[in-house]
Structure 1
């Protein structure tokens, strides 16, 4: 894809963003009003859907942008839009009382499709250093080679233990196994060989027949016995007939294709062979654009350094003299007005830059403030340190009381609003909420238009890709001036010391007292942020290699949010409007999980994923790690041997994981089956294992070792939450419930199965099969479909075709797993999690309001009927 395409797309995206911002600001200024909760929710969801569409387009343009100087401006726009999306999600959560948003009615209003509101990525990109990436790749490669070497050594050792007698016995056993396998697979191999023989003979006969016919024609032509060609009139008639038949055929073909496209849009069936998804191509394309930007950034850095060096050699001497003259004039003006020299601001406060910009107050103003401060010091001079401390505490108490009064007023207003919302006669309705993030979008857009509008209109090649050299001139000059000002700062501080000593001696000679500077309060030293290590020490390298050998540090498959298959619940908002409980589907889960993905680089987070076994929880974890390019550490307490479970081993393991995760952050720590560490009643099969010790180190100690600023996310998965203690939810405050496998999810699995496996016929009726298989877990359906295509069945499908009943009967005959009872998960979610309890309470309040509304309507109806009877009798 060319840079010209994304350049034009970015311009159209900005135009769409301007349009939606205008609508959003108009709704806020006009204070748009809705009588019902559904109306207010639909209005907000429509605006949210429009913002998501613009966010996806802007993020796509930013990721494929080849103009390196535009990147900061584009990032500001993308960040501002993502903040507004989160704000709208928060407002919808307050309205609906649920963690999930259903956008179907809002999407219809703004003509947006469900595919348009799928998030394609996260706004922040903090790539790990190239050195760390190379080291991790080197570790994974070395571990693979080491595991292969160990496997081969073990194989050789096993072979070495065989004696001659053992070898004979083993050969006999191998022959018996081969004979058994041959008997079992004899029919399949015979049928496959027969099909191959038929195909080869058909091709051979066709080739020989063609050669024979060609030679016979040549013989007739040489002998002169070949009949003459048909007349021109007959050939023209034949050509016309062929053209007419071909036109009719292709017309019917186009009609069938249109009908197929219509059926696919309606979700009925598809007739054409489905196209393969080019997921690998997208990753390659992303890598291509990343490498291109790196190359352009490198060229720009070299050009910038050359400009800076050139400007520095030309103006450094002049700038030094100019800055010295400005500072000396400033000293002179202070001495002339108040016979005092003000200190030069410290380097942390800007150095000589505030003096040059004239940001320091004038000598007269400073002198008045100085006198007031001296009077305050004199007033406080007689007071003890304890009295001053009490005065400060009293001032803080007054501020706290004022804040509490304001909070109480807001609380009373909220309680009054709740009472009004429960009364149908006095219901105030819903106003469109005022946004605090919309100004960020406007500022980001104004900044972009200010710097780039004129350049974009020119459509020069350097505006679309690479960089514009002239734009770097001002930045190079700025950096040179800062370097010169730092050099002048050191000289002028020495000169100021000489001036102050001379001024002090003058005051002593005249017998007067010089102004003394006020004692500045010592500022608390801020803790320096730990810089991330750009390299790995030998000790950390060995620890990472050890974790990789133990399968704790994982090399995962790159995954996107789209791999979590399933559609949106298109009737969820209608169900809520009818006071029912709407279940989120995979589409709503992906939207909520996107929020968790963008939080990885914002500090330590803890997330709990709850769902049945094989419900694609690992896909969500891999998608989160892939979008943030994070290192994945996987811990499974069930796979730990009981011999190793001791305090010493677990302490060293936790210390190793935390240290390595901090070095290679952003990192994701994936704890499988964490509910087994919180069992209310320990099962008999794991009664020998010290679960409390595992819980103490693998959860509590592990989470406490990270700082709030560490880009580490700890994710726990839970299969049977009702068997665990409530401490599990307290330890993981954010809970994401994986949805049940609905018809849409199963349909997508079957569609991918038919798409990717060519042995399955394209005309298989997967609609009825998806209806029958809904309720089985995601992973179980995939595994059964994989096991279904045995060699015998592939040959049978090629000869007799495939019916949905064959697949359904195969799954029914497999007794390993039954349909999931999803009501248990919903019951636990509603009773134990924070968002579940909020949703349950909100639904009860809505049902109470509906009952009050019906009662009020009935009373009004009776009142009208009584009034009508009275008027009739009076007449």
Structure 2
């Protein structure tokens, strides 16, 4: 899977830096095929490991790949324009109604129903929540304003910087003066005599030893820095400001150039199309007519019948997709015999036969499923015993053939141009390909007009042929379809009515539909679990960290947007559930209402259950550093590492709670994360699968250890019995 990820990174980089207009479609198709293959492998690994999270840290290091912990390049799935307009208008109307002064309605106690009481309670709660949010925002704004003390502190820091610069400049001037004086003394001969040779040799060896040690330390530092850079833990060389500006401007420049080349290519192709249509239009039209008439004549000469022009057009005739006249005649005779057999049967009998055929087909499918189920059960039993363990093999892929075909098509189309190193194969467009596409488009356009004319001619020929058959007294063969075509699915049209708008407005007014603030996925801070694959190898319970949760969330985001997936998020309070929901709403335009699954019955409809991770040391350290940067009054001498270690290991705070507690200067409340783990493994289907898989692996490991102990005991017995047998053989001699 990691090798496919490496290929994907290389291909996507080629697509992003591509300025050749004509090969973009092929390259994009290859990228999509690789992405589908990676998702297919992820599903296979899910079945193998009984967990939706995959840890590939070691494989990434081997292939020199790194995580993207920030997930900056995440595309958004936008709403349709119609839905977006309806939602915006509903929110706008609700806002106007809430801002407008309302006349108080006095109701008697008897007239107030339970529903209105609930509505009043909900409105009071929403008003209280908004007031708290506004107060919190005002406090944040007030905190961001620098006080007089902080301004004085900034002035002092600037003064210290200026003093340091002056000190360095003075030192460099003094050193230059001393060097000049020493040089003048050497010229005048007033300098001190040089040291003895033995002393100089000893000093040289000492300097040499120090320099070697220094360079060894430097080499090790560079090696460690490169290793950390590969792992994504640090950046060795920080790029300059100019390079950063160039890198940021590069995608925009490439996009502008690509758009310019695309317009040039389209105008060039349209000119060639017009010229070719004027020059060759009539000639091509006559040629197509002659070829279709020759095809009619061939059919008439062979079987005295003329086949109609296919629904796909005469292009199917030129591609030779239709059968030969003799083959068609044999199929027609079979069709007549079958029709003759069914002629004596009533509709009920025919319907019964169709039902029987469907029943047989269902029985065959059922037997095949039972056979596969028995094979899977047998394989599961075999995998519990080391001697019978067959090993794991990936399932046959349904995506590799498509990927290979796309790569083959690319090499077939562009292999010669790329090997000859044409400049036009890298930028702009190739005239020859434009000419070919223009000629093809002209031919297809002319062919459509020719088909309409030839269908009229076919009707005349068919009528004349029918008269000939009537004169002879025979039945003319009729057209028949070998297989019934599937019914085209009706596309749902987007309907926007006043009724839907009123319902949206009502839901927004009651607070069921909420327009969430725009949130980025990288706002859910966290790092990857680097040792997850090692823990899995040692059969240790392995849990995801924030990076794995983010990647899983993004994979399922598009499926959730289409309504084909449901995800339940489980975790303690302030663990980041709201941030994930906001990110989902920002990416796919969802308007959701968060709710709590306190009952087991409510959990059943959710096929995917996501358990949010506990707080880790690195995330705690990052939070504390961000907190110190946000508040300059906090002393920089605070021991961040020890504090992060204590909070992450012993205090067991959640992410949101710790973030809030740092702002409130650390309160003493705690949250028990272990009870959420227990609930996850006992109540949820995903957790039960992981638990069963883990227990099965431990059982298998225990059996392997027992077998190894038995083999070792047998080896010891055989070694002890060997000297006795040797002694007996000597006595016999």
1:836 corresponds in structure 2 to: 687
In the TM superposition, 1:464-863 aligns within 5 A as 464-518=426-480, 523=485, 525-530=487-492, 552=513, 554=515, 556-557=517-518, 559-560=520-521, 562-599=522-559, 604-624=564-584, 630-633=588-591, 670-672=592-594, 674-675=595-596, 678=597, 724-753=598-627, 765-774=639-648, 775-785=652-662, 787=663, 810-811=665-666, 814-815=667-668, 818-863=669-714
Give the conservation status (yes or no) of the 8 Å contact 1:269–1:767: no
- Aligned equivalents of 2:580 and 2:494: distance in 1? 27
Task: Please report the TM-score for the alignment, with normalisation by the length of structure 2.
Answer: 0.73
The offset of 1:465, in angstroms, is 4.2
The offset of 1:743, in angstroms, is 1.0
Specify which of 410, 414, 430 is matched with residue 392 of structure 2: 430
The offset of 1:753, in angstroms, is 4.6
Give the conservation status (yes or no) of the 8 Å contact 1:556–1:632: no
The offset of 1:295, in angstroms, is 5.1
1:83 aligns with 2:41: no
The offset of 1:418, in angstroms, is 2.0
SS in 2 for 1:741: coil
Listed one character per residue, the Cα deviations across residues 348-398 of structure 1 (whole Å, up to 9, x for unaligned) are xx1111122232212121111111110111111112222222222222333
Give the conservation status (yes or no) of the 8 Å contact 2:519–2:579: no
2:117 corresponds in structure 1 to: none
Listed one character per residue, the Cα deviations across residues 261-320 of structure 1 (whole Å, up to 9, x for unaligned) are 958977999999999999999998766655655555444444433333332233222222
Give the conservation status (yes or no) of the 8 Å contact 2:557–2:588: no
2:181 corresponds in structure 1 to: 234
The offset of 1:199, in angstroms, is 8.3
2:274 corresponds in structure 1 to: 309
SS in 2 for 1:735: strand
- Aligned equivalents of 2:355 and 2:577: distance in 1? 52
- Aligned equivalents of 2:160 and 2:69: distance in 1? 52
Specify which of 441, 452, 466 is matched with residue 414 of structure 2: 452
- Aligned equivalents of 1:56 and 1:268: distance in 2? 16
Give the conservation status (yes or no) of the 8 Å contact 1:558–1:622: yes
Task: Please report the TM-score for the alignment, with normalisation by the length of structure 1.
Answer: 0.63
Give the conservation status (yes or no) of the 8 Å contact 1:56–1:119: no
- Aligned equivalents of 1:137 and 1:751: distance in 2? 40
SS in 2 for 1:608: strand
The offset of 1:548, in angstroms, is 8.3
Report the RMSD for the aligned CA atoms in angstroms: 5.0
Q: Which moved more, 1:437-446 or 1:369-378?
A: 437-446
The offset of 1:839, in angstroms, is 0.9
2:204 corresponds in structure 1 to: none
- Aligned equivalents of 1:822 and 1:525: distance in 2? 54
Listed one character per residue, the Cα deviations across residues 228-278 of structure 1 (whole Å, up to 9, x for unaligned) are x999952856999xxxxxxx99x9999899959958977999999999999
Give the conservation status (yes or no) of the 8 Å contact 2:51–2:690: yes
1:339 aligns with 2:304: yes
Q: Which moved more, 1:832-841 or 1:85-94?
A: 85-94
Shift of the 592–146 alpha-carbon distance from structure 1 to 2, 3 Å rule, reads closer
- Aligned equivalents of 2:94 and 2:261: distance in 1? 36
- Aligned equivalents of 1:433 and 1:746: distance in 2? 41
The offset of 1:88, in angstroms, is 2.1
The offset of 1:731, in angstroms, is 2.6
1:351 corresponds in structure 2 to: 313
In the TM superposition, 1:193-212 aligns within 5 A as none
The offset of 1:491, in angstroms, is 1.1
Give the conservation status (yes or no) of the 8 Å contact 2:69–2:526: no
- Aligned equivalents of 1:602 and 1:437: distance in 2? 23
Listed one character per residue, the Cα deviations across residues 417-455 of structure 1 (whole Å, up to 9, x for unaligned) are 222222233333334654343333322222222222333
SS in 2 for 1:731: coil
The offset of 1:345, in angstroms, is 1.0
Shift of the 258–624 alpha-carbon distance from structure 1 to 2, 3 Å rule, reads farther
SS in 2 for 1:736: strand
SS in 2 for 1:430: coil
2:370 corresponds in structure 1 to: 408
Give the conservation status (yes or no) of the 8 Å contact 1:553–1:632: no
- Aligned equivalents of 1:284 and 1:575: distance in 2? 42
In the TM superposition, 1:74-113 aligns within 5 A as 74-108=27-61, 110-113=62-65
The offset of 1:862, in angstroms, is 4.0
1:6 corresponds in structure 2 to: none
Shift of the 70–238 alpha-carbon distance from structure 1 to 2, 3 Å rule, reads farther
1:388 corresponds in structure 2 to: 350
The offset of 1:468, in angstroms, is 3.6
- Aligned equivalents of 1:380 and 1:333: distance in 2? 33
- Aligned equivalents of 1:323 and 1:386: distance in 2? 48
- Aligned equivalents of 1:63 and 1:543: distance in 2? 44
Shift of the 135–291 alpha-carbon distance from structure 1 to 2, 3 Å rule, reads farther
Specify which of 385, 393, 404 is matched with residue 442 of structure 1: 404
- Aligned equivalents of 1:360 and 1:860: distance in 2? 69
- Aligned equivalents of 1:539 and 1:195: distance in 2? 62
The offset of 1:632, in angstroms, is 3.5
- Aligned equivalents of 1:833 and 1:401: distance in 2? 34
Shift of the 255–286 alpha-carbon distance from structure 1 to 2, 3 Å rule, reads same
The offset of 1:461, in angstroms, is 5.3
Give the conservation status (yes or no) of the 8 Å contact 1:504–1:514: yes
Give the conservation status (yes or no) of the 8 Å contact 2:55–2:529: yes
- Aligned equivalents of 1:827 and 1:749: distance in 2? 27
SS in 1 for 2:610: strand
Shift of the 95–356 alpha-carbon distance from structure 1 to 2, 3 Å rule, reads closer
Q: Which moved more, 1:740-749 or 1:514-523?
A: 514-523
- Aligned equivalents of 1:204 and 1:861: distance in 2? 75
In the TM superposition, 1:176-187 aligns within 5 A as none
Shift of the 849–239 alpha-carbon distance from structure 1 to 2, 3 Å rule, reads farther
Highest RCO, 1 vs 2 (Cα 8 Å, sep ≥ 6): 2
- Aligned equivalents of 1:193 and 1:231: distance in 2? 41
Shift of the 758–315 alpha-carbon distance from structure 1 to 2, 3 Å rule, reads farther
Corresponding pairs, count = 644
In structure 1, runs of 5+ residues without a counterpart are 1-47, 155-180, 207-228, 241-247, 634-669, 679-723, 789-809
Listed one character per residue, the Cα deviations across residues 324-349 of structure 1 (whole Å, up to 9, x for unaligned) are 11111111112222221111112xxx
- Aligned equivalents of 1:779 and 1:96: distance in 2? 30
Listed one character per residue, the Cα deviations across residues 160-212 of structure 1 (whole Å, up to 9, x for unaligned) are xxxxxxxxxxxxxxxxxxxxx9xxx9xx9674576588789999999xxxxxx
- Aligned equivalents of 1:863 and 1:230: distance in 2? 86
2:7 corresponds in structure 1 to: 54
Shift of the 568–732 alpha-carbon distance from structure 1 to 2, 3 Å rule, reads same
Listed one character per residue, the Cα deviations across residues 47-89 of structure 1 (whole Å, up to 9, x for unaligned) are x222223323433443454433232212222122112212222
- Aligned equivalents of 1:739 and 1:587: distance in 2? 10
Shift of the 144–91 alpha-carbon distance from structure 1 to 2, 3 Å rule, reads same
- Aligned equivalents of 1:756 and 1:282: distance in 2? 28
Give the conservation status (yes or no) of the 8 Å contact 1:52–1:119: no
Give the conservation status (yes or no) of the 8 Å contact 1:272–1:762: no
Shift of the 427–268 alpha-carbon distance from structure 1 to 2, 3 Å rule, reads closer
Shift of the 237–767 alpha-carbon distance from structure 1 to 2, 3 Å rule, reads farther
2:118 corresponds in structure 1 to: none
